[in-house]
Amino acid sequence: MHTHDHNRTPEELLERLHDISLPTAERERMRQALASYADFHPVRAKAPPGRVFAGFHLSFARRYVFALALFAVIGSLTGGISYAAESAVPGMILYPVKTRVNERVIGLLSFSDEAAIEWQTELILRRIDEAERLAVSNTLDATTEASLRTQIAANIEKVVLDTQTLDRNGRRDTAASVRTDIEASLRAHADILTALGTHSAADDTDEKTPEKKKEDGVLDSFITSLREQRHSVAEARKEAREVETDMADTARAYLATAEKSVAEARRAIDRIDEHAQTTLVAQAKTRLDVAEKRLRAAQTAFEEEQYAQAIRDAEKATFSAKETSVFAASARTIDISAELDFSSITEDDEDETEHEEPTHDTDKKEDRKEKEEDAHKRSDENTDSIIQDIVDVEL
């Protein structure tokens, strides 16, 4: 894609795309991506009355089905362009359609707070997936890396603020699940990208050229950003956990979330076929073993009425289960036959400070409140502009 394509209007882009069709290999890659999405966002069983967690996922499911229906209509009018754009990465001619049309349409269909948070989370994963695919093909340049990194940071900031709103509205289990989901995804993808970078470096038998050193620096910058963002989400998670009051009910909710997450991780493992990337499959299975061990520990602690310990163990079980799903999904989409080396990656534990006394920093609370108000104000100001951009596209 030429640089000037980024500056074209949606109408001009769509006009140029009418004759574009997907090759067979790309259609198969999209099929695998959709299957991986199903692993990471499975249909949830109905929860008992009074639980808001199930409603959170069901509302997203209804919104997502509606969005797919809308894409079907758009696709019928544009020769499948909108659908094809879903597999695009930065640098492809279809990428502006993906981000400026498809994603804005789905965003506008996120009617509830929970659906909006779920979609913001999905945007984070989309940008990371794009960086991962570019890294595999050694085409992640500095400009693209900076753009993806900035978008991810902005989406994470918004999600953290929105989960704080859920906390205040009494939907703590939903907020906790979202934070753990994002945190686990960030670490898992950072580890995968680190292994990809190590694999790329191992292939370079000759002395590195300035261009190659620059490429390595770009990937390192992105990985560092993911790890930093992961730490910020972890801090938000720990701050929220400090204010829990009804420990028994909280432990019960965390345990239920962990049990569902581990079940989802098992299904993700079951969907892996013989063509999956072997090292990532092994990593997924290792993390599933850890998740199941932590889940058993949480169940034991709960039975012994050690609710604080049950919460911590359940949270860790959910974390490992979410990592399992990420690795299982990536194993099916990353096309590298060679073994990837994860031995040099140090697993840090965000709960090392979990026994510290809770802090009550008024200034921090006020700062978070100001950030939240500012974020919501920016969102309101952008809504009219987004709607107009989409309406102006002549499909």
> Could you read off the pLDDT of 224-249 as tens digits, one per residue?
999 999 999 999 988 887 776 678 98
CB-count burial class (<10 Å; 0-12, 13-18, 19+) for 199 = middle
Closest CA to 240 of 250, 255, 229: 250
The span from the CA of 57 to the CA of 40, in Å, is 12
Local structure of 263: helix, strand or coil: helix
The one-letter amino acid code at 276 reads A
Go through 33-45 and write b for each residue having 16 or more CB atoms within 10 A of its CB, e for each that does not: beebeebbbbebe
pLDDT-derived band at 115 (thresholds 50, 70, 90) equals confident
pLDDT reported for residue 88 = 94
Average pLDDT for 139-163: 95
> Could you read off the pLDDT of 177-188 as tens digits, one per residue?
999 999 999 999
pLDDT reported for residue 57 = 44
Token couple for 232:
């910020």
> Could you read off the pLDDT of 123-147 as tens digits, one per residue?
999 999 999 999 998 899 999 999 9
Rg (CA), the chain: 21
Distances 59 to 24, 25, 72, 73, 193 between C-alpha atoms, Å: 34, 33, 20, 22, 32
With beta carbons less than 8 A apart as the criterion, state whether 340 and 195 touch: yes
Distances 251 to 46, 97, 245, 257, 373 between C-alpha atoms, Å: 20, 44, 11, 10, 31
Which of these ranges, 42-46, 210-214, 267-271, has the smallest mean pLDDT? 42-46
Positive or negative, the CA dihedral 381, 386, 391, 392 is: positive
Is pLDDT above 50 for 148?
yes
Q: Which residues contact 52 (CB under 8 A, 6 or more apart)?
A: 171, 173, 174
The span from the CA of 217 to the CA of 354, in Å, is 34
Is pLDDT above 90 for 108?
no
pLDDT reported for residue 230 = 96
pLDDT-derived band at 70 (thresholds 50, 70, 90) equals low
Average pLDDT for 291-308: 97
Local structure of 245: helix, strand or coil: coil
Measured at the alpha carbon of residue 150, what is the angle toward residues 219 and 320, in degrees to the nearest 5? 65
Closest CA to 237 of 220, 257, 262: 257
pLDDT-derived band at 210 (thresholds 50, 70, 90) equals low
With beta carbons less than 8 A apart as the criterion, state whether 184 and 121 touch: no
Measured at the alpha carbon of residue 177, what is the angle toward residues 172 and 178, in degrees to the nearest 5? 100
Helix (H) or strand (E) holding 387, with range, is: helix 362-391
Token couple for 33:
């991506």
Closest CA to 160 of 107, 92, 231: 231
Closest CA to 166 of 105, 111, 227, 113: 113
The one-letter amino acid code at 233 reads V
How many Cα atoms occupy the beta-carbon half-sphere of 104 within 13 Å?
21
pTM for this prediction: 0.71
Between 18 and 130, name the one with better pLDDT: 130
Query: Any idea what DSSP says for residue 100?
Result: I
pLDDT reported for residue 53 = 36
Is pLDDT above 60 for 255?
yes
> Could you read off the pLDDT of 25-58 as tens digits, one per residue?
545 555 555 555 455 455 444 444 433 333 344 4
> Could you read off the pLDDT of 307-335 as tens digits, one per residue?
999 999 999 999 999 999 999 999 988 88
The span from the CA of 323 to the CA of 329, in Å, is 10
Backbone angles phi, psi at 346, to 5 degrees: -90, 125
Average pLDDT for 94-104: 90
pLDDT reported for residue 128 = 96
